[in-house]
Structure 1
Amino acid sequence: MDRRKFIQKGALTGSFLGLGGLGIHAMGDVAHSAFANLPSRQAGADTSTHTFHLNYAPHIGMFKEHAGEDPVSQLEFMASQGFTAFEDNEMRNRPVAQQEAMAQTMQKHEMTMGVFVAHKIYWTEPNLASGKKAWRDEFLAEIKSSVEVAKRVNAQWMTVVPGHVDLRQNMAYQTANVIETLKQASNILEPHGITMVLEPLNFRNHPGLFLSESPQAYQICKAVNSPSCKILFDIYHQQIQEGNLIPNIEQCWDEIAYFQIGDNPGRNEPTSGEINYKNVFKYIYNKGYTGVLGMEHGNSIEGKAGEQRVIDAYVESDRFL
């Protein structure tokens, strides 16, 4: 369930996660049969099944048993269940026509586009930490290209992972190299009002990566000092890496622009592991957060029942008021 496997699967199948789902009782077949005739929000009254307090964002593949393989149909199903946002790590690799069709569907249902991965991630090589011009130039070119994708799909955020550590350089020099590259990337993004969000990844799923902890990301964002360089706080990764979730969110708050979700162990939906997501969501809500919380996780149960379990888990975890 690590990001490399997610992205590799997406590249092969055209979806980021073709995983099984979770479910809420026996409503799966009923929801599926009703889905075919659901009008859009623009057609009149809100017809969604649930109303959530926060902008939870599913991904392609999460509800494919209910909605089929077509990304637009999956977006329609997400909207029918009350989800107000969507994220897609593979968006920049999709055909332009598909990007445009997905953007139109999101606009129709007033769904917010969340993150997509902005560049090639180096899982075993120190691209940004090295300071080498060729790697920096490649990264900046991909950021420029991703600006066009962001405009096409109305995305405000894009994910950045600085790559592997450089074992031949002191960490302080590596940090300076990363900061300089991100400053240059921020200069590209600022005129467009787009934010790259730096994602620390845990040592267990992604050993050897440069960026692993929220305080480290916080320090880098303060040094870059740009509205276009902020933190993606992935709750799953940081539960493994450092724990102490709510205090660390509090410490990083002014640099956090985006959250992602996954329970531990297993990286599946809330209520499947040890994290008290109801309390975490309540804290984030009470802080006044109005951004997106990406559902970057799998489904703990396969099939329609599993997909319904995902919906149920969010309905239950969202009952924090």
Structure 2
Amino acid sequence: MRLAVCAEMIFTDLPFVERVERIHAAGFDVEIWTWMSKDLAALKKTGATFSSMTGYVGGSLTHEQDRLLATAEESIHVALELGCPRLNLHGTELDDRGLPVTPTYDVTGEMWVNAARTLERLAKLGERYGVMFVLENLNPVDHPGVPFGKAAEVLALVEAVDHPHLKVMLDLYHAQIGEGNLIALLRKAFPHLGEIQVADVPTRCEPGTGEINYAAIAATLRDLGYDGTVGLEAFAATDSDLALQRFRTAFTNAEI
């Protein structure tokens, strides 16, 4: 497994480029969120390997699909510049608090069909440029009103599209809050995993600070033969360097 760390949530007392440098120096790949506010030239100069980034600026799987596709193509060009292979998607555009710009609480059958068709177009776009789109699950407590937020819903859409350039970004923090039963979820989602994100519950800090048994998670991933990326999308409980150490330990020694 490759290990990545989200620079949006670690070393938050440092300027963003310095966060990336610290994460890279510690031997991790780097995840970022939106690219629009970033100094792309400075990020490239860090020499970091970028694992994933937000793959759209606006729009939704069910409405304003053309805007979603247009901003996804813009994002692809940035991803290619950074050498980032995965572009992250959600059911709809989120604001700076992670809330949907247009909340959707009742998802109709027509919306499911529209979402699948939009994802088919995104997958073909990813194939054209040689990148992968990954659809992330969110939880209804932190992100109310996001359509297709549950891991089961994300997986159903990815299975329906069935394209190698569309996979699941499985966030275990969100899945624990929204659904639980993480081991069974990992086994079911395994053929469709593009990347896994982790944080503990309830504080969204590094593994070992909450209720999730990450030793069991790591052991399950090894049993499955997962050799993809696990990304720490978490705040540091006390110290960022300690958070990175705990994260590395959780996924390099499942018995600790």
Q: Same fold (TM over 0.5)?
A: yes
TM-score by length of 1: 0.70
What amino acid does structure 1 have at the position aligned with 2:173?
Y
Scaled by the length of structure 2, what TM-score is found?
0.87
CA distance in 2, matches of 1:317, 1:118: 28
Query: In the alignment, is the contact (CA less than 8 A) between 1:92 and 1:116 conserved in 2?
Result: no
Report the Cα distance in structure 1 between the residues aligned to 2:162 and 2:31, rounded to whole angstroms: 26
Structure with greater proportional helix content: 1
Equivalent position of 2:95 in the other structure = none
Q: Unmatched 5+ residue regions in structure 2? A: 93-101
Task: Tell me, yes or no, if structure 1 residue 162 matches structure 2 residue 91.
Answer: yes
- The CA deviation at 1:64 is 5.3
How far is 1:256 from its partner?
1.2
- 8 Å CA contact retained: 1:157, 1:194: yes
Match of residue 260 from structure 1: 197
1:286 aligns with 2:223: yes
Contact 1:200 1:234 in 2 (8 A): yes
Aligned equivalent of 1:91, options 35, 39, 42: 35
| Alignment partner of 2:78 out of 136, 144, 149 | 149
Q: Secondary structure at the match of 2:84?
A: coil
C-alpha change, 1:219 and 1:165, in structure 2 (3 Å) is: farther
The aligned counterpart of 1:119 is: 56
* Bigger relative contact order (CA 8 A; separation at least 6): 1
d(CA) in 2 for partners of 1:182 and 1:142? 14
Tell me the SS of whatever aligns to 1:268: coil
SS at match of 2:3: strand
Change (3 A) 1:241 1:80: same
SS of residue in 2 equivalent to 1:233: strand
> C-alpha distance in 2, partners of 1:286/1:249?
11
Per-residue Cα deviation, 1:190-238 (whole angstroms, up to 9, x for no partner):
1222111111111110111111222211221122121111111000000
Query: In structure 2, do the counterparts of structure 1 residues 264 and 121 end up closer, same or farther at CA, with 3 Å as the change threshold?
Result: farther
Q: 1:92 offset after TM fit, Å? A: 4.5
Size of the alignment, in residue pairs?
244
The answer as to whether partners of 2:232 and 2:247 remain within 8 angstroms in 1 is no
Residue number among 230, 240, 247 corresponding to 2:177 in the alignment = 240
The answer on 1:140 being equivalent to 2:69 is yes
Shift of 1:294: 1.5
Separation (CA, whole Å) in 1 of partners of 2:154 and 2:24: 33
- DSSP 3-state at the match of 1:266: coil
Q: Which amino acid aligns with 1:289?
A: Y
- Which of the residues 106, 109, 118 maps onto 1:172? 109
Unpaired stretches in structure 1, ≥5 consecutive residues: 1-53
Partner of 1:69: 15
Cα distance in structure 2, aligned partners of 1:288 and 1:259: 14
Corresponding letter in the other structure for 2:148: L
Partner SS state of residue 91, structure 1: coil
- CA distance in structure 2 between the aligned counterparts of 1:59 and 1:188, rounded to whole angstroms: 25
Matching residue within 204, 217, 220 for 2:154: 217
How far did residue 136 of structure 1 move?
Answer: 1.0
Contact preservation (8 Å) 1:232, 1:260: yes
Residues 234-291 of structure 1: per-residue CA shift (max 9 Å, x gap): 0000001110001011111111111001100011111110001111012113322222
Q: Which has the larger radius of gyration?
A: 1
Counterpart residue number, 2:254: 320
- Alpha-carbon distance, 1:76 to partner: 3.5
Q: Tell me the distance in 2 between the aligned counterparts of 1:93 and 1:208.
A: 26
Structure 1 runs of 4+ aligned residues shifted over 6 Å read none
Deviation at 1:59, TM superposition (A): 2.5
Q: CA RMSD in A?
A: 2.1
